[in-house]
Amino acid sequence: MSREVVLDTETTGVDARNGDRIIEIGCVELINHCTTGRTFHTYLNPERAVSEGAFAVHGLSDAFLADKPRFAAIADELINFLGDARLVIHNAPFDVGFLDMELQKLGKPKLRPELVVDTLVMARRKHPGASNSLDALCTRYGIDTSRRIKHGALLDAEILSDVYIELLGGRQADFGLSAPSQGRRLAAANDQTGSESGGSASSPRRSTPRLLHVSADERSAHERFIATLSGAVIWKDYAAPSDDRGT
């Protein structure tokens, strides 16, 4: 079983070394690259003012954060949720830098770098020279971001989990046995435009089974074959005349 946690943070600013702090953490659990429904989410009182630039991005005000817990109060719960999972983060040095700073203040170990997967690095390798922001990747893969009016750690982690699966190669085809989930690749749009990497558009799925004509020679060959089988009663059903089964 492969356990991963997709993680995102919001902060008071962009520089942890100059005193900026985390104000929101969002985590989404994946098992074998599938979401389980388990999440971790909290807002935090950073004990300092949110910068104007950061507020414009996420909309979390000082007044809203004033009664939220400090990082120290949720640190153990967060550590327990992360466990030994691989951490999937977009532009990982940013979030890891803030989390390591908060953990160090409490005398706790930093995050293990070997467990961190940076989806920005993955995207740059897969799409060199293209824009690889989270928004750009969502557009490229047809992932629904209509709920994303402002940045939010949990919502961005949920969206990033979809992006991560696409960067890995996308989900396997389900042969039409299940309805497409919201936030996955928009297959119809891709059928019209094709893959950005130069692949051809996929063929539309057949909605009804195709009936095939069986010739007299093919039926005779089948009858000769089942005659060689011992106790193959069920096969005789498929040798019965079927001129009325379609052409």
Q: Which residues are catalytic?
A: 151
Which residue bears the tokens 């897969």? 126
Q: Report how far residue 52's alpha carbon sits from residue 59's, in angstroms, rounded to the nearest whole number.
A: 9
- Which token pair is 108? 């706790």
Which residue bears the tokens 């120290």? 72
Q: Report how far residue 195's alpha carbon sits from residue 202's, in angstroms, rounded to the nearest whole number.
A: 9
* Number of other residues whose CB lies within 10 A of the CB of residue 124: 13
What secondary structure letter does DSSP report for 84?
Answer: T
- Which token pair is 222? 């089948």
What are the beta bridge partners of residue 4?
30, 86
* Number of other residues whose CB lies within 10 A of the CB of residue 232: 11
Q: Report how far residue 121's alpha carbon sits from residue 74's, in angstroms, rounded to the nearest whole number.
A: 29
- Which token pair is 68? 């939220």
- Cβ burial of 7 (10 Å; 0-12, 13-18, 19+) is buried
